[in-house]
Amino acid sequence: MEQSIQPIVTHFSQNKMNNSLPSASPSTRLYFGTDGIRGRVGVWPVTPDFVLKLGWAAGKVLALQGFGKVLIGKDTRISGYMFESVLEAGFTAAGIDVHLLGPMPTPAVAYLTRTLRAQAGVVISASHNPYYDNGIKFFSAQGTKLPDYLEIAIEEQIEKPMTTVDSAKLGKAVRIVDAPGRYIEFCKSTISPDTTLNGLKIVVDCANGASYHIAPNVFTELGAEVIEIGIDPNGLNINLNCGATQLDLLKKTVLQEKADLGIALDGDGDRVILIDHHGQVLDGDELLYIVIKHKQTLGLFRGGVVGTVMSNFGLEKALTQMHIDFVRVPVGDRYIIAELAKRAWHYGGEPSGHILCSEMITSGDGIVTALQVLSVMCSTKKTLTELKQGFQKYPQVLINVEVTTNEDPLQNEHINHAVKHIQRELGEAGRILLRRSGTEPLVRVMVEGEDYVNVSRLAAELADRVKTALGRKS
């Protein structure tokens, strides 16, 4: 999901960093990024006229592959109505039938694209971004990322004049009214039919996003007592002070309600963060560790695990002690998926809560991931606090710096000098990562080491140097 910019990865992961993957921003792309097209609504290319042309261009390319249908889902941001309409118009003008899903999590669109035998799926979402951003991303007929050659073909088609097929060949549009129910049943099917959540009190935060009408029902139908928050979307409050990126409300509610745990999804439902009964956060690294450790205990784990340059060294160390191979790739689920396929492995993930399990689903899925962890809790009769024992997280401080230039931080002399100085202070027991966000005008500064106070100081020092060199002027 993010654009990598030659990360500095020292000591812990240098030997395991996969450098064979394609660039996060291929030079052949004009519009598509690492996760579709995303940006500020009303600012090109996230505009009605461009998205209309995008729908038409995608429809023309898909029509060449053979007649079929396209599914369109969206999250709850207000601009979704506008982009849904223009995409529908573009596809139908190209002669492609459209099946509208309404608000649905991104992984649900991937799942339904495959099971409903559609040619492609489209998600209108900017994931964890604020309501004023939006984006378009595509899934293939297999529920995976759209192949590169199709993205390139769509971009080439966009440059051509828009036309409309003969009226007799126009596409039709229908709504799939049972889409939520289909997906709820799928989520429940990912754990053993013998597993129930009876006796668990869970707080579920849906971020006022695409999972608001799905996630609470999944956990309730499995027997849990569910306290719902973030389930009142109004088009403007998606991810606002709630969800996987804003955990204060969930922590407070878990403690007030004396709940067993809290589940925080993001706006499009493909990532999840958990809160234990003490109010402590479990990120994607810890969730992945819990699931993998349990599977290994049962003798069900095969292969290795794919993480990213952001994965905590504590995860790598814990997996190594379990004699499980671990490799790192650039940030972004498309790189994790590619590496899993290459190695015929099944599990990977990011600290942000994107967890990939190709045995069950073709994309990151917050609800499914939460269910895997809950299944371990029920099977072992242990709390989240107990389950994460054996994973010692190394202090890791991440600071986002707003930037006004596309300059590579690693090519800046002043920043390079600061990096070398800080690396000397960290020694062999630490690492530094600088990378540009692929979705926001930010450079992410991460420092990891053994001592939190020292790591925090050094991260702030490096962030100040990046801000001085590249940042917004106040």
Contacts of 136 (CB under 8 A, 6+ apart): 36, 37, 38, 51, 54, 83, 87, 122, 123, 124
Given CA atoms 323, 325, 331, 337 in this order, what sign does their dihedral have? negative
Q: What is the DSSP letter of 295?
A: H
In whole angstroms, give the CA distance from residue 193 to residue 469.
56
Catalytic site includes residue 127: yes
Of 363, 325, 361, 329, the C-alpha closest to 345 is 325
Catalytic residue, from 4, 127, 211, 375: name it.
Answer: 127
Spacing of C-alpha 335 from chain mean position: 12
**Strand 261-265 versus strand 201-205 pairing type:** parallel
Phi, psi of 225 (to 5 degrees): -85, 115
Amino acid in the structure at residue 386: E
Q: What share of the chain is helix, strand, coil (3-state, %, to 5)?
A: 40, 20, 40
Tell me whether the omega of the peptide bond preceding residue 45 falls within 30 degrees of 0, making it cis: yes
Distance from the first to the final alpha carbon of the chain: 29
SS3 299: coil
Provide the 3-class DSSP secondary structure of residue 239: coil
Residues 6+ away with beta carbon under 8 Å from 79:
41, 131, 134
User: What are the Cα distances from residue 259, in Å, to 141, 262, 263?
Assistant: 40, 7, 11
Active-site residues, by number, are: 127
